Structure 1
């Protein structure tokens, strides 16, 4: 579980990007590549401690492979009253 505010922000950014790209038609394999690049950039920039980067990566992988995160609720049709 992520507890550091900066780490949570990085996690939120990546998961928001996952949903955005999913809606644009990208799928799991492509999103996994995106995650690898994102994690590599965090490591290269020394944005946060390495162990926190690993936590972000593990949480993001869990998010990515839980398909329920990408299912949009369907609006219920309004009943016709005559």
Structure 2
């Protein structure tokens, strides 16, 4: 579980990007490469402590393996128009 605010912010940005890429047609292998690159960039920039980056990577991989995160959301059905004027 992530508790550091900066780590949570990076996690949210990463998972939002994963869903966006999935909806654009990228698949698991592409998303895995994206996560690897994202985490590697965090390591090289020293944006977070190493142990926080490791936790973020674990949580991101858990998110990536859960298929329910990539299911299309149900669109609300429009209400039928009434004939009353």
TM-score relative to the length of structure 1: 0.91
1:72 deviation in Å? Answer: 1.4
Q: What are the ranges of 5 or more consecutive residues in structure 2 without an aligned counterpart?
A: none
Name the structure 2 match of 1:7.
7
Q: What is the number of equivalent residue pairs in this alignment?
A: 82
For 1:1-82, list aligned pairs within 5 A. 1-75=1-75, 77=77
Aligned Cα RMSD in Å?
1.4
How far does residue 76 in structure 1 lie from its aligned partner after superposition? 5.4
Larger Rg: 2
Provide the secondary structure at the position in 2 that maps to 1:75.
Answer: coil
Partner SS, residue 20 of structure 1: helix
Q: Residues 2-35 of structure 1, C-alpha deviation per residue, up to 9 Å, x if partnerless?
A: 0000000010010000000001000111000000
Aligned structure 1 segments of 4 or more residues deviating by more than 4 angstroms:
76-82
